[in-house]
Chains A and B, each alone.
Chain A
């Protein structure tokens, strides 16, 4: 059991960091091994924002192996060197935690695949997100703990998706935490609640097409699957609709891009989702209490049906 939540403001910005924190914290009983945020902030759209990690959180409850902190600095140095070699200029650098970094980068990218492959060839380095408005922040603990740790409550933006995780089929670590970046697409992220039963078959096919997997978490498949469909020319909605037959198992998942938010539900409707939709706001979550954290007044909500795919624009 995991909890997912998402919201999109249409035609305006809002304090999405704080709103998503409230929604995910309301779902913490569904899992608090890790929590992740994909926030689409207000930016000038000029530079890329890259969130990446050079190590794992090895705190209490983590399934990661303890490392000497000095290796984080060594990995960071190599990242800086590779960025320089690829002609990417770091405009701003933040290091929230020893293993977690945020770079604002000036880079004229045609294909982020090559860029990502080079940086992730450094052992222990993983790009959590790359985009001009997307920032993926994920770590161990519940929504409030992660929000406080990364000061997310002040983030202003148009839309966001998030995930409260109860680890079942892979480790308690950041690499298995959601959201997953839709590598190598700028500004694409995914959260998922459910289990996929044809993970390995799909993974082999996608790896043969050059896609990368950073974890053994089945949910990562959705991000890679949708990214591959988009690479082949499909729209987000087309890719999501194809996933209903391409992915086997039970799932409700959200995908967000720079200007849209989508949801898909498997053909058995085995995983919950409650949805609120108005002209200026769409809010959805695994349980109604998530929506109530941002809309306490009486509202009309509903469960999307089996096999339903919906996409909203900002």
Chain B
């Protein structure tokens, strides 16, 4: 077993089993030379034209069939796709690693828009559990309510729900922003590691339970604080950022952000601040 005390800083992460692997993908571009344009795209993604628009009726399709057809349309250069009759089907729109303007005329079931990187999505309905899980980049806007585990483990992008959401919103999130126009259930921000959550309404019990890092802003009442979630000072720059973000999100533009509560990790349970940047990268 490696002796951690005597290891060089550079190799300490590897000794701890935290690999500084080569990251790929558009969202990780800060680790790359921006001139290497080819690294900004995944293999198998397409050049699409946002002005090229089409409708896709998925009423009689299974989720895999619908997702394949979306991929097929992107391969033909369609940059705006309107999905008709989603009717609460599960796993629609998953794994889109492309710039795309995607509109759902209706509601989605579980795992909608999971593992996406790049698309701009508007859902004119409700979403079930685990919407946009693992989102890496892009913007997903839900016009109505959302189920539990909304934005679980997202790494980037903006995830916006104009209605209310269920329990465990932003569980295990590692980046990005989640914005909720209504209320949120229990365990919001459970074990979140990075990123920001904004709730304009009330939130349930155990807010920010066991959070490692990240920030939660609450406009309404708080059911109770979770373990190691503590209040922090709402600064002027926080308020400026909140105003900008809510404007972009098209909700709460006139909301008085100065009265919002700011919740952060007390860092009694977990504390990665004393790790080197490369180690943090591996740990998170």
A residues with a Cβ closer than 8 A to B are: 267-270, 272, 274, 287-289, 291-292, 296, 298, 300-303, 305-307
CB distance from A254 to the nearest CB of B (A): 18
Binds A, one of B27-35, B142-150, B269-277: B142-150
Size bracket of the B interface: 20 to 34
Residues of A within 8 A of B162 (CB): none
Main secondary structure of the interface of B (DSSP, over half): loop
Residues of B within 8 A of A307 (CB): 186, 205
Residues of A within 8 A of B106 (CB): 298
13 intermolecular pairs with C-beta atoms under 8 Å apart: A269-B185, A269-B187, A272-B148, A287-B109, A288-B126, A288-B128, A298-B106, A300-B145, A303-B148, A303-B185, A305-B186, A306-B186, A307-B186
**B125 an interface residue at 8 Å Cβ cutoff?**
yes
How long is the Cα–Cα vector from A137 to B125 in the complex, in angstroms? Answer: 35
In the complex where A268-B187, A272-B129, A288-B88 touch, is A303 in contact with B145 (Cβ < 8 A)?
yes
**B164 an interface residue at 8 Å Cβ cutoff?**
yes
Interchain CB contact under 8 A, B145 and A301 = yes
Candidates B87, B129, B183; contact of A289 at CB < 8 Å: B87
Interchain CB contact under 8 A, B164 and A287 = no
**B204 an interface residue at 8 Å Cβ cutoff?**
yes
CB distance from B187 to the nearest CB of A (A): 7
Interchain CB contact under 8 A, B126 and A300 = yes
Q: A291-B88, A303-B165 are in contact. List 10 more A-B contacts (CB 8 A).
A: A269-B167, A287-B109, A288-B107, A292-B88, A296-B87, A303-B146, A303-B166, A305-B167, A306-B185, A306-B204
Q: Please name the residue on chain A nearest to B186 by beta carbon.
A: A306
Residues of B within 8 A of A269 (CB): 148, 166-168, 185-187, 204
Interchain CB contact under 8 A, B164 and A274 = no
How long is the Cα–Cα vector from A272 to B109 in the complex, in angstroms? Answer: 12
Residues of A within 8 A of B204 (CB): 269, 305-306
- Digitize B30-51: 1 where CB-to-A-CB distance is under 8 Å, 0 elsewhere: 0000000000000000000000
- Digitize B84-101: 1 where CB-to-A-CB distance is under 8 Å, 0 elsewhere: 000111100000000000
Residues of B within 8 A of A267 (CB): 186, 205
Residues of A within 8 A of B186 (CB): 267-269, 305-307
Interchain CB contact under 8 A, B88 and A305 = no
Residues of B within 8 A of A287 (CB): 88, 90, 109-110, 128
Q: Please name the residue on chain A nearest to B107 by beta carbon.
A: A288
In the complex where A289-B88, A289-B90, A303-B148 touch, is A268 in contact with B167 (Cβ < 8 A)?
yes
How long is the Cα–Cα vector from A301 to B163 in the complex, in angstroms? Answer: 11
How long is the Cα–Cα vector from A250 to B166 in the complex, in angstroms? Answer: 15
- Interface positions of B from 166 to 189, Cβ below 8 Å from A: 166-168, 183, 185-187
Interchain CB contact under 8 A, A298 and B205 = no
CB distance from B112 to the nearest CB of A (A): 11
Q: When A and B form their complex, which 3 residue pairs have the shortest distance between CB atoms, in order from nearest? A: A288-B88, A269-B167, A303-B166
Residues of A within 8 A of B147 (CB): 272, 274, 303
Interchain CB contact under 8 A, A302 and B145 = yes
- Interface positions of B from 228 to 247, Cβ below 8 Å from A: none
Residues of B within 8 A of A270 (CB): 167
Q: Please name the residue on chain A nearest to B108 by beta carbon.
A: A288
